[in-house]
Structure 1
């Protein structure tokens, strides 16, 4: 993953090969064995957005991660024009490498409309300034891996609020499993709503699967675990500013069959519910 926000923005600048056909680059250097799923998702969002009128913004996307991406070669994105309606537009995106489909996304766009309005309240949490930079936790837990972690994830400022990993905390919260963090881009993004939507999609794949491991006191990266994102869904409720603080309020309703399901509400610092995210992933015990 890129170490700077500039590199993230470079990844979101796709090359157009033909009508509805785009090519996305890779980070100049990355220690990851396969392409970060959020990168593929964000590039697919950019590709789809470039085929949709400017007055329509993405309100939902549904993704399947089919094969791990090869970080050594570009990814080709083929956008299918499914429907252009009076209010809604639908696109389907296939991502390809080595002649194979590695990813599918269906995305829906909508013109701005007025209607009923309600939302969940934001939970009481410590502020970003009161929360712990995630890099500090990594450094304390595994100093030898800190530099590599910093180089991969410094494009976003990530602050860990906490989880209820202990039995006492779970009991106090009526057994609801919770994992929370604040995040924002490490710098200013262009004042373009589509850029913020793509940047949010990029980071939305970070940490969500880990919530499904909280009840089992296991972390992503544990050598006893094989983990991978399988599918990913985002509903965009209100405009998102990805360079301002967002609370990732994560929980996990179920794990079974070597798969874990995580869901999350995303609030901005004012308390507005801007998105809901869900993901099922592989959490297979090994060894």
Structure 2
């Protein structure tokens, strides 16, 4: 486990300051706001800490309300909406400087047997055959709108080994493509020996899920995103369904596509599979996607 992953785990280890009230810190952001995946993951940690351990997160629905300040702590307040015989529901509001910046509803369930089927995993090359972020990002340094963007992107991804199957949006500027993107990801180190509970793996996947989901929107229009200055974007809402157990320190395939973009917004939807083909997570996100004038 490298230091970046240790720092990420520390970031998710919230401080409890009162019953159902937690405080989280932020890490330096690639853009001048708190990374949305961090807020979503921390909010899910806060919700999960008020739920019995035998109940596991099966869904979340969230709205990003305001940009977060990476220089200030975030306070998470949890409402215990319902504790039923099988399901538990929690609502979390993240607050900074006296204002809500994020809202999350999460549902947890006691495990039970039921009907089983899933969509088949799409074809993808083995992750070991693909370049790492350290290998791929310097290739595009000259295209980025500001000096040092490649280094900041690389720093932001040191905790997670994320590998693009095809060229990322910033490597495909000017060439519209099919609105689909695939990446493999896992934590940059094994999680054995740390607080190795199902909630941790779910929260880490939530963190990563906000990194690339709108890439397919950009690919459809030959846009490279904020890094090359041809799009202004931000997450608006985010939903995830956790279908089957998985480990965030083992390879997961993030298969993403965009069915629509309009009105200054783009929609991304995705499925996350374990390496052996199990459908683990479904994800949908809408974000602001504006062309600067």
TM-score, normalization: structure 2? 0.91
1:68 matched residue in structure 2: 67
TM-fit CA distance, 1:150: 1.7
Q: 1:235 aligns with which of 236, 241, 246?
A: 241
What's the counterpart of residue 9 of structure 1? Answer: 9
Computed over aligned residues only, the root mean square deviation of the Cα atoms, in angstroms, reads: 2.1
2:214 to 209, 218, 229: 209
Cα distance, 1:134 vs structure 2: 3.1
Is the CA contact (8 Å cut-off) linking 2:173 and 2:224 kept in structure 1? Answer: no
Q: Distance in 2 between matches of 1:115 and 1:263?
A: 25
Residue aligning to 1:50:
49
For residues 31-53 of structure 1, the C-alpha deviation after alignment (integer angstroms, 9 at most, x for no partner) is: 43000000000100100000001
**Number of residue pairs matched?**
280
1:92-131 alignment, distance < 5 Å: 92-131=91-130
Question: Residues of 1 paired with 2:31 and 2:231: CA distance?
Answer: 16
Query: Which residue is 2:136 aligned to?
Result: 137
Deviations 1:157-190 (A, max 9, x none): 01110269799996xxxxx631001000001124
State the distance in 1 between where 2:151 and 2:233 align.
Answer: 22
How is 1:254-273 mapped onto 2 (pairs within 5 angstroms)? 254-273=260-279
**Residues 237, 285 of structure 2: 8 Å contact kept:** yes
CA shift at 1:132, angstroms? 2.2
Distance 1:167 1:116 in 2: 46
Counterpart contact for 1:135–1:146, Cα < 8 Å: no
SS of the equivalent of 1:119 reads coil
1:265–1:273 contact (8 Å) kept in structure 2: yes
Where structure 1 has 5 or more consecutive residues not aligned to the other structure, the ranges are 171-175
Matches within 5 A, 1:73-222: 73-142=72-141, 144-162=148-166, 177-189=179-191, 190=194, 191-221=196-226, 222=228
Task: Find the aligned partners of 1:231 and 1:3 in 2 and give their Cα distance.
Answer: 30
* Equivalent in the alignment of 2:281: 275
* Structure 1 SS opposite 2:166: strand
Instruction: Give the secondary-structure state (helix, strand or coil) at the position aligned to 2:114.
Output: coil
Q: Does 1:286 align with 2:288?
A: no
> What per-residue deviation string (whole Å, max 9, x for no partner) do you get for residues 242-281 of structure 1?
0110000000000000100000010011010000011000
Q: What residue ranges of structure 2 are gaps of 5+ in the alignment? A: 143-147
Moved more, 159-168 or 211-220: 159-168
Cα shift at 1:228: 0.2
TM normalised by structure 1 equals 0.93
Task: Write the distance in 1 (CA, Å) between the matches of 2:30 and 2:206.
Answer: 21
Q: C-alpha deviations, 1:200-249, integer Å up to 9, x for none? A: 11111011112211110112223121100000000000012001100000
State how far apart, in whole Å, the 1-side matches of 2:124 and 2:211 are: 20
The whole-number CA distance in structure 2 between the counterparts of 1:233 and 1:21 is 23
**d(CA) in 2 for partners of 1:261, 1:25:** 29
